[in-house]
Amino acid sequence: MSLTEKYKDCEIKYITTSFATNDSIQIKYPANETGERFMKCVPKDDDNTDYQEILQWVADGNTIQEAD
Amino acid sequence: MPYIGNSPAEKYASFAVQHFTTSATTTYSLTHAVANENDIRLVINNVIQQPGSGKAYTAAGNILTLSAATSGTDTMYCVFLGKAVQTVVPPEASITGAMLSSTAVSGQLALGAEPADTDEFLVNDSGVLKRVDYSYIKPTSQIYRDAQPIMINGNFEVWQRGTSFTSAGYTCDRWYQDLSGATATLSRQTFTVGQSDVPSNPKYHLRQTVSTANNNCGVFYRHEDVTTLTGNITIAFYAKGTNPNGGNLNIITKQSFGSGGSTAVETSTQNITLTGSWQQFVFNFSLASISGKTVGAGSYLQMLIKQPDGDSSTNAWTLDLANFQVEEGTYTSATLPPFQSETYGNNLARCQRYFQNIADGTDKAIGMGQYWEAQEFIGHRVLSTVMRTTPTLEYVTGTGYYAVLRDGGADALDALTISSSPSSSSMISWYVASAQGLASNTKNRPGFFRTQNSSSKVGFTAEL
């Protein structure tokens, strides 16, 4: 499965905190029929597999949304 | 009279004797060369013969010549008076290591199978040479109980994420369900206590029930750091079930050299043909040399059991998997070391390097903190084990699934976040603000995170 398929319908955007701009990355998966959803908050650590995948996803031509 | 050298050990001397098969002849061959007939004593029919020319016999070199021919019924032997064979019985406790040849053992018969329990080995017991039965020293799972197996959760005992999964992803700790377009359920199954089909009394096993199959659907395990398992390895496990339409599953290893590392290398596939009964499978793999490779972050050795790449059939199949082990070196089912069981605590601690379940269900504490600003709550949590890397926060959410409790009240939340900047593999810093639905409150007020719904679920993952 490609990363584009894996993150299809997901909302991927930066989280800005008091410590740093674009501090971490939030992945919001589509909600189920009851409104419940799976979420991830990915730290910007080069050894983190999720972060590596997001970098690859961006390299594939996708864009991370700006923080609120 | 004194002499130079050590006093000789107790000695015995015996004379060499040759018995002859007699016939009607006067000439016989001697087994030892002699100077003349006086070097031997010849006895015919128990009568000593007189040596010398013109007497009963003469001898020179290896030739014995009789003055009269014997017959086939005579008995004849000679004693070589000039040839003594000396034997020495060494005194007790006089043989030292220096007297043994370095090849004293290699020339002996080799035992071609596992020793019997009563076979004996020599052991130096505080300086005293003693015998010990093999039964006392043979490897058993009990001996290995405190040792760490190479595999983590090879006995499928730790299931922090749950016990049944229909999505692709990590399931049983350290085990990933790879659907590849298939529809499947991976679940925990319980062994009957005392069963003998699979040794070492495992509590659980993994079952992958594939209802609509596809090629490459299966399960895999990733061993951290590709440089720590090299050369020849043996993968062994117990399995049963039903096969894909093609008749078998595949097992294959992949060396992944991490982010920015060399291109991954796969071994050739080997076949697994399941039956309805538990059976042990033992596979030998020769991994590619890592010499000259570039190894980046997150490298691993992957072990994958899957429907073959060339088998795109959709027929249902089931894989039951238990006691999965990996050993360095080449083993057969007869020589394979016993499965190494771990205590649940040790197994869980090793699993938590990759995943930590923080809260599951309602009213579970997540962490302490305080309002940094009116709408910023910051907290910290020390991880129970140092994780492989700064982990990803994973959680299930819905309206009001979480809350910050403070000063007799609660501020509901839908989202949780962590801050990369201060977080590490050993401590996490939470950060929740108005963007996550946090209501305004008093700055510096302390509080703590907790779950508020039976479906709330929080974990940290640092999987490969």
CATH code where residue B300 lies: 2.60.120.260
Residue B147 is assigned to a structural domain of this protein: no
Domains: count for chain B:
3
Asked if B332 and B193 sit in the same domain, the reply is yes
Asked if B384 and B453 sit in the same domain, the reply is yes
B307 neighbors B215 (Cβ within 8 angstroms): yes
Asked if B188 and B331 sit in the same domain, the reply is yes
Exposed/middle/buried for residue B343 (C-beta within 10 Å: 0-12, 13-18, 19+): exposed
- Name the token pair of B364: 């579970």
For B190, residues 6+ apart whose C-beta sits below 8 A from its C-beta are B203, B204
Query: Which candidate from B389, B420, B421 shows the least CB-CB separation from A47?
Result: B389
Per-residue pLDDT of chain A (68 residues; tens, 9 = 90+): 788 888 999 999 999 988 899 999 999 999 999 999 999 999 999 999 999 999 999 999 999 999 98
B289 neighbors B226 (Cβ within 8 angstroms): no
- Residue at a domain's end among B349, B375, B410: B349
Alpha carbon distances (Å) from B335 to B140, B330, B332: 13, 9, 5
Q: Which of B230, B207, B250 is nearest to B150 (CA)?
A: B230
Helix (H, G, I), strand (E, B) or coil at B226: helix
How many angstroms away from the CA of B253 is the closest CA of chain A?
A: 19
CA torsion sign for B384, B390, B393, B394 is negative
Q: CA of A51: which chain B residue's CA is closest?
A: B392
Residue B417 is assigned to a structural domain of this protein: yes
Strand blocks (E) in B126-245 = 128-133, 164-165, 169-170, 175-178, 183-190, 204-212, 218-224, 232-242
Alpha carbon distances (Å) from B181 to A23, B184, B319: 34, 10, 17
| Model-level ipTM above the cut of 0.90 | yes
B211 neighbors B187 (Cβ within 8 angstroms): no
Exposed/middle/buried for residue B380 (C-beta within 10 Å: 0-12, 13-18, 19+): middle
Residues of A in contact with B416 (CB under 8 A): 39, 41
Using the Cβ of A1 and the Cβ atoms of chain B, whether some distance falls under 8 Å is answered with yes
Asked if B35 and B177 sit in the same domain, the reply is no
Asked if B336 and B368 sit in the same domain, the reply is no
Residue B440 is assigned to a structural domain of this protein: yes
Residue B370: domain span = 355-461
Asked if B444 and B333 sit in the same domain, the reply is no
Using the Cβ of B430 and the Cβ atoms of chain A, whether some distance falls under 8 Å is answered with no
Q: Please give the pLDDT value at position B143.
A: 47
Query: What's the CA gap between B444 and B447, in Å, rounded?
Result: 9
Record: contact B420-A38, CB cut-off 8 A:
no
Record: contact A36-B376, CB cut-off 8 A:
no
Please give the order of strands across the beta sheet that includes B40-44. B11-20, B76-88, B40-44, B47-48
- pLDDT, one tens digit per residue, over B244-302 is 999 999 999 999 999 899 999 999 999 999 999 999 999 999 999 999 999 999 999 99
The model carries a pTM of 0.75
Kindly compute the dihedral angle of the four CA atoms of residues B229, B328, B309, B249, in this order, to the nearest 10 degrees.
Answer: -150
Strand blocks (E) in B391-456 = 392-397, 402-406, 409-413, 427-433, 446-451
Residue B434 is assigned to a structural domain of this protein: yes
Asked if B49 and B32 sit in the same domain, the reply is yes
Per-residue pLDDT of chain B (464 residues; tens, 9 = 90+): 556 766 665 666 778 899 999 999 999 999 999 999 999 999 999 999 999 999 999 999 999 999 999 999 999 999 998 776 666 677 788 888 788 788 887 778 888 888 888 898 988 888 888 898 888 887 655 445 556 899 999 999 999 999 999 999 999 999 999 999 999 999 999 999 999 999 999 999 999 999 999 999 999 999 999 999 999 999 999 999 999 999 999 999 999 999 899 999 999 999 999 999 999 999 999 999 999 999 999 999 999 999 999 999 999 999 999 999 999 999 999 999 999 988 999 999 999 999 999 999 999 999 999 999 888 999 999 999 999 999 999 999 999 999 999 988 998 888 899 998 889 999 999 888 887 788 888 899 999 889 999 999 999 999 99
Query: What's the CA gap between B417 and B56, in Å, rounded?
Result: 119
Q: Please give the pLDDT value at position B112.
A: 81
Using the Cβ of A59 and the Cβ atoms of chain B, whether some distance falls under 8 Å is answered with no
Exposed/middle/buried for residue B215 (C-beta within 10 Å: 0-12, 13-18, 19+): buried
How many angstroms away from the CA of B174 is the closest CA of chain A?
A: 14
Asked if B344 and B359 sit in the same domain, the reply is no
Record: contact B389-A48, CB cut-off 8 A:
yes
For B263, residues 6+ apart whose C-beta sits below 8 A from its C-beta are B257
Using the Cβ of B378 and the Cβ atoms of chain A, whether some distance falls under 8 Å is answered with yes
Query: What's the CA gap between B67 and B375, in Å, rounded?
Result: 132
Helix (H, G, I), strand (E, B) or coil at B362: coil
Helix (H, G, I), strand (E, B) or coil at B442: coil
Using the Cβ of A29 and the Cβ atoms of chain B, whether some distance falls under 8 Å is answered with no
Exposed/middle/buried for residue B97 (C-beta within 10 Å: 0-12, 13-18, 19+): exposed
Residues of A in contact with B433 (CB under 8 A): 17
Q: Please give the pLDDT value at position B440.
A: 85
Residue B220 is assigned to a structural domain of this protein: yes
Q: Please give the pLDDT value at position B135.
A: 81
Classify residue B439 by its DSSP letter: P
Asked if B422 and B333 sit in the same domain, the reply is no
Q: How many CB atoms lie within 10 A of CB B257?
A: 20
- Residue at a domain's end among B349, B373, B389: B349
Asked if B382 and B337 sit in the same domain, the reply is no
Residue matched to tokens 């800005």? A16
- Residue at a domain's end among B38, B72, B87: B87
Record: contact B395-A48, CB cut-off 8 A:
no
Q: Which of B343, B342, B395, B324 is nearest to B175 (CA)?
A: B324
Residue B8 is assigned to a structural domain of this protein: no
For B149, residues 6+ apart whose C-beta sits below 8 A from its C-beta are B325, B326, B339, B340, B342
Alpha carbon distances (Å) from B342 to A23, B35, B207: 39, 79, 21
Q: Please give the pLDDT value at position B148.
A: 85
Q: CA of A45: which chain B residue's CA is closest?
A: B390
Q: Which of A39, A45, A6 is nearest to B395 (CA)?
A: A39
Asked if B183 and B205 sit in the same domain, the reply is yes
Asked if B338 and B367 sit in the same domain, the reply is no
Record: contact B431-A17, CB cut-off 8 A:
yes
Q: Which of A49, A43, A14, A50 is nearest to B419 (CA)?
A: A43
Q: How many CB atoms lie within 10 A of CB B224?
A: 17
Residue B242 is assigned to a structural domain of this protein: yes
Residue B383 is assigned to a structural domain of this protein: yes
Identity (one letter) of the amino acid at B188? R
Classify residue B179 by its DSSP letter: -
Record: contact B390-A43, CB cut-off 8 A:
yes
Q: Which of B90, B27, B119, B24 is nearest to B64 (CA)?
A: B27
